[in-house]
Structure 1
Amino acid sequence: MSRFLRPALLAGLGLFALGSAARAEIDPLTRQPLIQYVDPAKAQATAIPREIVDYTTQHKPGTIVIDSAARRLYFVMPDGKAMRYGVGVGRPGFDWAGTQIVSRKQEWPTWTPPAQMLKRRPDLPRFMPGGPDNPMGARALYLGSTLYRIHGSNEPETIGQAVSSGCIRMLNEDVIDLYDRAKVGTRVVVAR
């Protein structure tokens, strides 16, 4: 069987809930997402489940709170609840704290590495179109006028780690869920 399966076929096979064991890929003919199989044992070992949790905070519902030390992102909900996600954060020297707003949102964002990153990594491409091989993943929420984003990742093993250049990484299925919840103008609080 092909390593790429159409979502309708997956649903027909009862495989629609693969979670992080599946990765979106674009069919070059139809431009529709395909699903690439990823070893479920590896995905399960790295998965941090998305779940609604009790969450006492002074922040208003609709706020995004990122606990960098715990590698968790909370979308504050009413009645003392929050949707909790696992995230990857900035590695030492690239971590940060502060308050921003979601200034824009993008599905399948393009990626242009900033000059500072190209200086450190001249082997990187100068531009990548959006798609499943793009390190920005399926969705991006841009934070103010900074270079930082909350975005998906095609490297699920980095979730729960401090490995980025300051951006907040999420599983693609989690960033899609957050993207649908958060609006432009959403307050984002990042704590170390």
Structure 2
Amino acid sequence: MPNSKFNTPSRRSFLAGSAAVLAAPAIAQTDNVNSTNTTENERDITEVVRRNVSSFRTLDWQPYFSNTRNGAILVDIDSRAVHYWSDDQSVYKLYPSSVPLTQELTRRGRTSVIRKVDGPSWSPTPSMLKRNPEWPKFIGPGPDNPLGTHALYLSWTYYRIHGTHDTRKIGRRSSNGCIGLYNEHIAELFSMTKVGTQVLLI
């Protein structure tokens, strides 16, 4: 964001810290899906996280979905991989991902894509600002944004599948719930998915 008021040590500290973690959800969720520009964070983003290598294997969709209507996304938390099948099953993609830091921050189950945003903005929640008053209240699209270039908003409040400008996050347990992809991968997935695409986190 070109506004010079953010070119301060606090701004730089926030951006440096955000490299350690993906924008993330609150542990306690609500049903308010209108808060699409806020992402809750329940740990200090300056904490260092340990990198682990993802393991990959191709999967069939049948054990996880009854059909692939509107397409299907499977997020395998343990192997840190995102699988995608197109509606007609002619396209299958497998992407490395970042995953939640702990089991307590991990949500599993069925949801769906309810919104797609090219160039998402990010805003901390009031609780985040209370803990970290020096953080900026808004980051627009661009290289400083924790959500990367594209975001798929899920029906669970605060949960996203999104990109990241910090490639060190991929393959790590580094988020508080969101699933992160390389920007080039989220752009491809974004182009194939639609509102209503099924999502299952296991």
TM-score class, shorter: 0.5 to 0.7
Aligned length: 146
2:74 equivalent to 1:65 = yes
Matched residue, 1:83: 93
CA distance in 2, matches of 1:73, 1:138: 17
Query: Equivalences for 1:12-161 in 2 at 5 Å?
Result: 53=58, 55-58=60-63, 59=65, 60-61=67-68, 62-77=71-86, 78=88, 82-92=92-102, 93-161=104-172
> Which structure would you say has the larger RCO, counting Cα contacts within 8 Å and 6 or more residues apart?
2
Identity of aligned residues (%): 35
Normalising by structure 2, we get a TM-score of 0.64
For structure 2, the residue ranges without an aligned partner over 5 or more in a row are 1-51
Q: Secondary structure at the match of 2:177?
A: coil
For residue 82 of structure 1, report the CA deviation from its aligned partner: 2.7
User: Residues 155 and 65 (structure 1 numbering): CA distance in 2 closer, same or farther, change over 3 Å?
Assistant: same
Q: Using the alignment, how far apart are the partners of 1:76 and 1:176 within structure 2?
A: 16
Q: Distance in 1 between matches of 2:109 and 2:131?
A: 25
Compute the displacement of 1:116 (Å): 4.2
Distance 1:47 1:157 in 2: 11
For 1:133 and 1:47, the matched residues in 2 are separated by 25
Q: What whole-Å deviation, never above 9, does each CA across 1:152-188 have from its counterpart, x for those lacking one?
A: 0011111011111211100000000000011001111
Give the Cα separation in 2 of the matches to 1:56 and 1:80: 12
Closer/same/farther in 2, CA of residues 68 and 75 from structure 1, 3 Å limit? same
Runs of 5+ in structure 1 lacking a partner? Answer: 1-45
- Contact 2:61–2:85 under 8 Å retained in 1: no
* Alignment CA distance shift 1:101-1:116 (3 Å): farther
8 A contact 1:100–1:189 mirrored in 2: yes
- Taking the aligned partners of 1:189 and 1:116, their CA distance within structure 2 comes to 29
Post-superposition CA distance 1:126-153 (Å, at most 9, x none): 1101112211101000001511100000
Q: The residue matched to 1:113 in structure 2 has which SS?
A: coil
What TM-score do you get using the length of structure 1 for normalisation?
0.67
Separation of aligned partners in 2, 1:98 and 1:54 = 18
Q: What corresponds to 1:7 in structure 2?
A: none
Residues 72, 137 of structure 1: alpha-carbon distance in 2 compared, 3 angstrom cutoff: same
